[in-house]
Amino acid sequence: MNDNLHQLRCFGCGARIAGAEARPDFRCAVCGELFEVEYPGWSQRKGPDRPNPGALKWLWRERRSSSEALDHSGVWRFRELLPILDSLNNAVTLREGNTPLYHLPRASKALGIDQLFAKHQGMNPTGSFKDTGMTAAMSVAKERGFEWVACASTGNTSAAMSAYAARAGLRSLVLIPEGKIAWGKLSQAMDYGSVTCQLKADFDGCLRLLTQIVNEAPIYLLNSVNPYRLEGQKTPAFEIAEAFDWNVPDHLIVPGGNLGNSSALGKGFRELHELGLVARQPRISVIQAAGANPLVRSFETSHGAALEPVEAHTRATAIRIGNPASWRKAARVIQETGGWCLDVTEAEIAIAKAEVGAEGLGCEPASAVTLAGLKKLCAQGAIEPGETVVLMLTGHTLKDADYTIDFHRGTLLTDEESVGREAEIKGLRRNAQVVEATPAAVLAAMKDRVG
């Protein structure tokens, strides 16, 4: 069966091409911009290719109790909204998606927002949101007959790609910045069997080099410049809408690195709205680390019309990106939905991460920018107490255990970074203590905590 109903549309000049005509670097041959997947059949008011909202909602819910492997995937469960494959037999899945949406009682109380939730994408098979995009794009790589796939990465993309390539029986190449990715992520690429090259370059340099390589050799590029990645990564928008019974939340807050994820979630909600599955789109805000904030600067200087790359520095290594590939798409999402683009400091990230930990959830540093950003928006009076807010937690806390341990030991932040926040930090730190092996000593340690 041919399920393929898509074409590619250039985000810059609007040129349309067939999927198979894309250049290896996924840049438009006319203007150099990136492509977006579009489904021409959906623009007809009626017709066989236009999905029926009521039937879809029913079908997607039914699939949750199905015994079919594809229905167990939170991406392919919504396959009617990503008809990118000629045959669904080519789908490579690890049962990604269907991630939990948690209420955050402590942060809710502290911020005076009752309806505050976290969509925990770190609960995916390789521990990050990248799995939802990787199942989609890896399936296309397999269907197109590639033997090799590759990505440049700050760690999570490489972990996801390596796993899905192994499942698909493809070989994979990873380019990462030497010494600048968390060990948990590096160990995954090794475990799943990629050729892993640590380069003396930052993420932006790794991606530049890989772009040259794929233009010379038959290797399928799996960074988020690949528009099929975004088709998978838009599906958490469907899960969120479904979880709220198709009444979308007021506000979604997303971390920003290479800006594929915010672009994808925006596309997901836009499509739900265009197809009549939801009545409106949520406001979507993007939060960056202050040391890696090119989109924030772009909004400050030109309201997202032009972007000047920066040299990126942050301990939230996942978003240590100075020249984000998808910035135009993300800027459009923020502008269209009335969202904000903010940055947060290293201390704000560390504090927010510890607070997510104290909710019993945990997340990696890059994910914690969402809570840090929300706190800033609340302080600015930008959020009403009655609003429903969803934070996208993008990675699992175990991805970067060194960061967590350094925070709790008190060795993460410099005095300069902590200035003015010392008491808050002290209140959150939970160092592991060395205690004598006697009941009295252990009981005393417990008493110390209670105060």
Answer yes or no whether residue 367 interacts with ligand F0G by CB under 6 A.
yes
Question: Are the C-beta atoms of residues 268 and 307 closer than 8 Å to each other?
Answer: no
- CB burial of residue 331 (10 Å; 0-12, 13-18, 19+): buried
Q: Least separation, in Å, of the C-beta of 246 and ligand F0G? A: 25
Least Å distance, CB 129 to ligand F0G, is: 7
Residue 128 found at the interface with ligand F0G (CB under 6 A): yes
Nearer to ligand F0G, 123 or 277 (CB): 123
User: In the bound complex, what is the minimum distance in angstroms from residue 14's beta carbon to ligand F0G?
Assistant: 24
Report the site for ligand F0G in 167-196 (rule: CB under 6 A).
none
Q: Is 258 in the site for ligand F0G (CB under 6 A)?
A: yes
CA distances 184 to 125, 132, 158, 364, 439, Å, are 14, 19, 11, 11, 35
Note whether 322 binds ligand F0G by CB under 6 A: no
Residue 259 binds ligand F0G, judged by CB under 6 A: yes
- When asked if residue 317 is in the footprint of ligand F0G (CB under 6 A), the reply is no
Should residue 366 be labelled a site residue for ligand F0G when binding is judged by CB under 6 A?
A: yes
- Residues 26-65: x/- map of binding to ligand F0G (CB under 6 A)? ----------------------------------------
268: contact with ligand F0G by CB under 6 A: no
Binding flag, residue 124, ligand F0G (CB under 6 A): no
Rounded to whole angstroms, how far apart are CA atoms 156 and 361?
Answer: 19
- Binding letters toward ligand F0G, positions 202-241, x by CB under 6 A: ----------------------x-----------------
**What are the beta bridge partners of residue 102?**
118
Q: Does 71 bind ligand F0G (CB under 6 A)?
A: no
For residues 128 and 285, which CB has a smaller minimum distance to ligand F0G in the complex?
A: 128
Distance between CA atoms of residues 369 and 346, nearest Å: 9
Pick between residue 154 and residue 172 the one whose CB is nearest to ligand F0G.
Answer: 154
Give alpha helix (H) positions in 275-326: 294-302
- Range in contact with ligand F0G (rule: CB under 6 A) among 152-160, 239-247, 265-273, 441-449: 152-160
Among 99, 126, 139, 156, binds ligand F0G (CB under 6 A): 156
Alpha helices in 322-384 (DSSP H): 327-337, 346-358, 365-379
CA Rg value for the chain: 22
Strand order in the sheet with 16-17: 16-17, 7-10, 35-38
Instruction: Please spell the DSSP secondary structure of 385-408, one letter per residue.
Output: TT-EEEEEE-B-GGGGHHHHHHHH
Which of these segments, 20-28, 153-161, 208-216, 234-242, binds ligand F0G (CB under 6 A)?
Answer: 153-161
Of 277 and 286, which has the nearer Cβ to ligand F0G?
286
CB-side neighbour CA atoms (13 Å) of 423: 1
Q: Which are the contacts of 448, defined by CB distance < 8 A and separation ≥ 6? A: none
Sign of dihedral through CA atoms 221, 154, 94, 254? Answer: negative
Number of residues that bind ligand F0G (CB under 6 A): 22
Contact 173, 195 (CB under 8 A): yes
Of 11, 395, 404, 425, the one binding ligand F0G by CB under 6 A: 395
73 or 326: whose CB is closer to ligand F0G?
326
Are 275 and 51 in contact by the 8 Å Cβ rule? The answer is yes
The dihedral of CA 414, 417, 422, 426: what is its sign?
negative
Name the DSSP letter for residue 73: S
Shortest CB 270 distance to ligand F0G, Å: 17
Residues making contact with ligand F0G (CB under 6 A): 128, 130, 153-157, 224, 255-261, 318-319, 364, 366-367, 394-395
